Structure 1
Amino acid sequence: MKLNDWYTRNFESALSGRYITLNHINPLLELYKNDYNITVVGQSENGQDIPLVKIGTGKKVVLAWSQMHGNESTTTKALFDFLKFINQKHFYQTEIENFLSSYTLYIIPILNPDGAQSYTRVNANDIDLNRDAQNLSQKESKCLNRLFSELKPELCLNMHDQRSIFGLNTGKPATVSFLSPAADESRSLTEARKLAMEKIVKMNNYLQNIIPGQVGRYDDSFNAACVGDTFQKAGVATILFEAGHFELDYEREKTREFIFYALLSLFDIIGNEKELIDYEDYFKIGENQKNYNDIILRNVKIETEKKSIDIAIQYKEVLKGDKIRFEPIIDAFGDLENRKGHKEKNIKNKNILTKTQQNLTIGTQISELFDKSDELMIFFQKKASIIR
């Protein structure tokens, strides 16, 4: 059986979509209680548990955490795909046994359960936990810092989602991005940074086989308030994972698969364990650019402009009940030749208007757009795409 066949049949189907909370993962933690060492290592500001999953018995200690930003859930799904893979008994068994005997992996699947519940980046006190590394003002930050001090990991995995605005000079979206955070203002190449770079190069080498030209490198400007920079400065190799956009996969179900493969590669379960890795190849990975929008309408006529323009539309993610609704917002007007759209349509110099005939301005939320001449719909929000 090929790995992608296994994944297609066996990924953790109990988790799907963008809205993942502690209530979603608790049944899985209960399911795995006899297979993995699962404990509660702290509480959130609102008193929700912060769980910790321990895997393996090896000397190489790794600490990973997801949903530090509550609305960034793709890596949480991928981590549970990884847990399911490690727990199966018939595929890649030798590699799995080697992993379990070589590594002790600690996973915090949701560091910010309050933010996850309300689908926000910040925690219950409106604090960005990834800017609280120095102040340690929040219970969640203190919990992570305490584990870091107690476990003394040699590698940390700081796992996030990135917005669909990021693309690469390949002309493709940044579906997966990595960062070896800076350890100081001068971005010195410390031994910890170089180790993180080597691990990233290894993952990139594998991912290029399945998403060529879609792996990026995140900006490495130093920020002492960020957790990754702080841990790297402390001499512990730290890797930032950024799960991004793939084609029209707004639920991030394909991207989770690529993160899953990256994890298997990182831990030498797949890929060439003996390949020669040069940390300097890290700098050959294209740096993320903010050059994408969800939708771009080309050659549009509007009453306030003398000539045809382009209109960029970006989705805003809004929690409605227990579902995420993607609300289209006008992001930019003008000559957007240097931007790409995940979906594009040439309006061919026709005049457009909204259902309510509202003025089209930056920041306007829209639901439907019509061709003013024949009133045919050119954009329909519920489909998360353009139709004609």
Structure 2
Amino acid sequence: MGKSSDYLNFKLTSVSGRYVTNDHIYEFLSTLDESFHLDILGLSVKKRPIYGITVGHGPKRIFMWSQMHGNESTTTKTVLDLLNFIKHSSPSTEELLNKVTLKIIPILNPDGAFNYTRFNANEVDLNRDAQKRKQPESKILRKAFDKFAPHYCFNLHDQRTIFNVGNLNYPATVSFLAPAFDRQRNNSESRTRAMCIIAAMNQKLQDYIPGQVGRFDDSFNPNCVGDTFQMQKVPTILFEAGHYQEDYQREKTREFIWYALCTAIRTIANDEINNFSLNQYYKIPENNKRYVDILVENAHVLDNSLNEKDCVSILYKEVLDKDKINFIPTLLEKGFKPGQYFGHKTLNCLIDTDANWLRSQEIKDWGY
């Protein structure tokens, strides 16, 4: 489980891109046979169903949920790939499902997914509602957690294109975190187990994206779901699907999350957690925020108010338009010197032929 050939064979090509809603996933979910227990766990603010799928019959229970933030769809695509892989079962898959039981919520926030927004229909960030649980989606997640009584939790998210690894010019294509359970960020048996599983995933991913795995900030916030479940002494892992070179649709990152998920499940199933150490976890560099989508060097060629060698940074704003996400370039900052940011695309206005394109196509959107 988790081989490249497996992924290419079982990637669910009917669901792709950044805009993923209940309507996109239901056709596939309706094809799952009786070995998958598909049910409606509850309804969102706007009365959209929140689906849960349970598969496997092993003693180790793994609970995962995606699209808590409606505009973070990469991991949703990956869990569909995982379900499709299990659907076309093999002897090795059956062996694994004798060891683990998976419970998956592919879209926790279907209203946010429909509107392509982080928040639910009440404009609440569900990942800040873990304690008060005022939102129906938060109540559904906690009820599923309590009923399933998982041994492990996977909290599946996307992160923005701004993140790099450490201080290096590498995008944080995948990031992980074993959330803290107290303000001192102490370790415990459950948090240590989460860290060791992350070490296993990182080791696997270095074969595919060397240097492009980061460690997310572990500041404690009891209102966050991961911190709350860690406080319940359940090893919880935050997955953050980030940017891969030229992959704004997050189809390559989707694949890397597949390798990570398969590695984590296999590590748990086969009792391999103790093969990895805290030291391996802490060696993963922390994320930093030094990337922009377009870095324009020598921008004085485009703007006479700038000094020679001044730079301009541009980020894309993701805008939903007729079931498609458009990436609209927006000015972040201008007038800074080289070295402050890295660019997913870098243009030097003194030598790049793209400068005229920038002037004619994008400068109107930068805020000048």
Give TM class, smaller chain: over 0.9
Indicate how the Cα distance of structure 1 residues 199 and 370 shifts in structure 2: closer, same or farther if over 3 A, else same.
closer
Structure 2 residue matching 1:76: 3-state secondary structure? helix
User: Pairwise CA RMSD of aligned residues?
Assistant: 2.2
Indicate how the Cα distance of structure 1 residues 78 and 231 shifts in structure 2: closer, same or farther if over 3 A, else same.
same
Of residues 129, 152, 155, the one that matches 1:155 is 152
Q: Is residue 2:68 matched to residue 1:88?
A: no
- The higher relative CO (CA closer than 8 Å, separation ≥ 6) is in 2
1:202–1:277: 8 Å Cα contact kept in structure 2?
yes
Tell me the CA shift for residue 85 of structure 1: 1.2
Q: Distance in 2 between matches of 1:297 and 1:283?
A: 34
Q: Distance in 2 between matches of 1:325 and 1:304?
A: 30
Indicate how the Cα distance of structure 1 residues 325 and 232 shifts in structure 2: closer, same or farther if over 3 A, else same.
same
Q: Distance in 2 between matches of 1:15 and 1:135?
A: 34
2:3–2:259: 8 Å Cα contact kept in structure 1?
no
Partner of 2:366: none
Q: How does 1:161-240 map to 2 (within 5 A)?
A: 161-169=158-166, 170-240=168-238
2:96–2:269: 8 Å Cα contact kept in structure 1?
no
Of residues 112, 116, 122, the one that matches 2:109 is 112
Question: Cα deviation per residue 1:351-380 (whole Å; 9 max; x = unaligned)?
Answer: xxxxxxxxxxxxxxxxxx985xxxx32467
Q: How does 1:254-269 map to 2 (within 5 A)?
A: 254-268=252-266
Partner of 1:283: 282
Q: Which runs of 5+ in 2 are unaligned?
A: 363-368
Q: How does 1:238-253 map to 2 (within 5 A)?
A: 238-253=236-251
Partner of 1:129: 126
Indicate how the Cα distance of structure 1 residues 135 and 271 shifts in structure 2: closer, same or farther if over 3 A, else same.
closer
User: Higher strand fraction: Structure 1 or Structure 2?
Assistant: 1
User: Higher helix fraction: Structure 1 or Structure 2?
Assistant: 2
Q: Distance in 1 between matches of 2:360 and 2:85?
A: 39
Structure 1 residue matching 2:236: 3-state secondary structure? strand
Partner of 1:71: 71
Q: Distance in 2 between matches of 1:46 and 1:74?
A: 23
Indicate how the Cα distance of structure 1 residues 2 and 235 shifts in structure 2: closer, same or farther if over 3 A, else same.
closer
Structure 2 residue matching 1:348: 3-state secondary structure? coil
Tell me the CA shift for residue 6 of structure 1: 3.5
Partner of 1:142: 139
Q: Is residue 2:345 matched to residue 1:343?
A: yes
For 2:299, the aligned partner's letter is V
Question: Cα deviation per residue 1:162-215 (whole Å; 9 max; x = unaligned)?
Answer: 000000134210000000000000001011110110110011110011110001
Structure 1-normalised TM-score?
0.87
Indicate how the Cα distance of structure 1 residues 380 and 160 shifts in structure 2: closer, same or farther if over 3 A, else same.
farther
Aligned residues: 357
1:203–1:266: 8 Å Cα contact kept in structure 2?
yes
Q: Distance in 2 between matches of 1:69 and 1:218?
A: 17
Q: Is residue 2:302 matched to residue 1:300?
A: no
Partner of 2:8: 8
Q: Distance in 2 between matches of 1:380 and 1:317?
A: 21
Tell me the CA shift for residue 2 of structure 1: 9.7
Q: Distance in 2 between matches of 1:269 and 1:279?
A: 15
For 2:195, the aligned partner's letter is M
Tell me the CA shift for residue 132 of structure 1: 0.2
Tell me the CA shift for residue 338 of structure 1: 2.8
